[in-house]
Amino acid sequence: MMVGGGLVGVAATKFLPTLIPSSLTASLGTSPIIGVGMTIAGAFVASWLAKKVSSEFGDAVLFGGLMQAGSVLLTAFAPASLSSQLALSGMGDIVPGWFAVPQNSVTNRGPMGPMIAAPSSGGGGMGAAIPRPFGRR
């Protein structure tokens, strides 16, 4: 019950601030303190709603919500060297933004090479693309 409540608290604390209309959030500003404050408020609202089910469950939801608020606080105010070591800012540059395989002239970062037309075999449709699929005639 406690672990489930903690997970519900994290999820609810992430979700509840998205329900606030953008006209209100725009008037509050874009400071990281506002984001942390909204996350803490979401944790208390989620706990208040969960206490209607069970007092113990509500306390677990509050714990999970405050853990999420602590994560947001660390992400907002920790130095880059610390937050990168704690992996609070996502995956970072583990993989490049584009993949080497398959090489595609549309997504390739270099200049496009010349387009070469496929030789015509006289037939049309799939027969031209795959003349003898799987060795059949």
Considering only CA atoms, which of 56, 73, 60 is closest in space to residue 11?
A: 60
Domain annotation covers residue 59:
yes
State the residue range of the domain holding 42: 37-74
| Residue 42 covered by a domain | yes
Would you call 109 helix, strand, or coil by DSSP? coil
19: in domain: no
Closest residue by Cα to residue 12 from 71, 51, 62: 62
Is 43 part of a structural domain of the chain? yes
Question: In this structure, is residue 64 part of a structural domain?
Answer: yes
Question: What is the residue whose two structure tokens read 């080497």?
Answer: 100
Encode pLDDT of 90-133 as tens digits: 555 555 555 555 555 565 555 656 666 666 555 555 555 555 65
Residue 117 lies in a domain: no
Q: Look up the pTM and report it.
A: 0.57
Q: How far apart are CA 65 and CA 54, in angstroms?
A: 16
Per the structure, the count of domains in the chain is 1
Exposed (0-12), middle (13-18) or buried (19+): which is 107, by Cβ within 10 Å?
Answer: exposed
